[in-house]
Amino acid sequence: QVDLHEWLDGLSPSSPVSAPLFESKFQILSSAGLSALTETERNQLASMLNRLERVAAYADSKGVKMLVDAEQTYMQPAIDHLTLLLMERYNTNHAVIFNTYQCYLVDSYKRVVADIERAERNGFVFGAKMVRGAYMVQERRLAKLRGYADPIHENIQATHDNYNAVIEMVLRYKAAPAVPEAGVMKRRATALMLASHNEKSVARAVQLMAELGIPRKESGVYFGQLQGMCDHVSYMLGEKQYAVYKYLPYGPVKEVMPYLLRRAEENGDLMSGVGKERKMIEKEIKRRVFEALGFAAKSKKEYSVAH
């Protein structure tokens, strides 16, 4: 068997061995929808690879993590390939590079399994960020236009189930007994970012971590939510000593707003909980006001009676 990603690792426009693949005289894979890269495109490819390498090296030198975002399915294989290549180079002892998996895709579970197997086979730390996905309308429109199967799960519950299943699979793999390597027991190294605003998914993951004996701190399991979204979940995780991050997009309004709108679409079920979060904020404001006035020891009922 040949691992496609591993085979592609050796392909470079500047390599004498693989250069013919990037030239117009290469005809073996020619088709109506496939053509060789032009000189301009080869230069752009080389420039992109150089920029990626520089960013990854800088992240590694500063001790921070580089999470590569996911996009539409027609460009995702290229993103996966480049991210896994960087992962193999930089995730030697700990996770620096993370790939993103959109769990609303039908094939996402199998892709995660395949990439975990590749990491174990080649001896690098698998780093993954799990999200639900944000291009449903575009994906289904394109599938219908080009006549291939819808790549998205049929409904939101199927997406929830798949997301939870992927998280459970990765956590169980991470918690599995160490494996022997050259006479030494080597722990399966995996890093996981649960990027979710779904309270049930977060609670399920927390419970599973406890059952599997995965520690809350310095375990390679992280939680992430957007700043201003599901903050009460973030605060709860932080209070309980889990590794939680708040994600703050920044940039020109014309570029940031479409991104935030996609996040709102991706987390449509979150909008139904806005009323709950508003009540929690109101309760916290009252608590702080009463505490400032010296009534911290009194209950809410006592406040209403006394005032």
Kindly report the pTM of this predicted structure: 0.79
Higher pLDDT, 267 or 174: 174
Question: Which are the contacts of 112, defined by CB distance < 8 A and separation ≥ 6?
Answer: 101, 128, 166, 169, 170
- Rounded-to-integer distance, Cα 169 and Cα 205, Å: 11
Residue scoring higher pLDDT (276 or 229): 229
**3-state DSSP call for residue 87?**
helix
pLDDT digits (tens, 9 = 90+) for 123-135: 899 999 999 998 8
Residue among 153, 156, 154, 174 at smallest CA distance from 109? 153
Higher-confidence residue of 242 and 266: namely: 242
The backbone region for 241, taken as left when phi is positive above 0, alpha when psi lies in -120 to 50, beta otherwise, is: left
Q: Closest Cα partner for 269 from 233, 230, 242? A: 230
Q: What is the dihedral of CA 111, 115, 117, 120, to 10 degrees?
A: -160
Task: Give, for 304, the enclosing helix (H) or strand (E).
Answer: helix 300-306
Higher pLDDT, 305 or 297: 297
Q: Give tens-digit pLDDT for 62-79.
A: 999 999 999 999 999 989
Q: How far apart are CA 307 and CA 296, in angstroms?
A: 14
Asked whether residue 250 carries a pLDDT value surpassing 50, the answer given is yes
Per-residue confidence (pLDDT) for residue 161, from 0 to 100 = 97
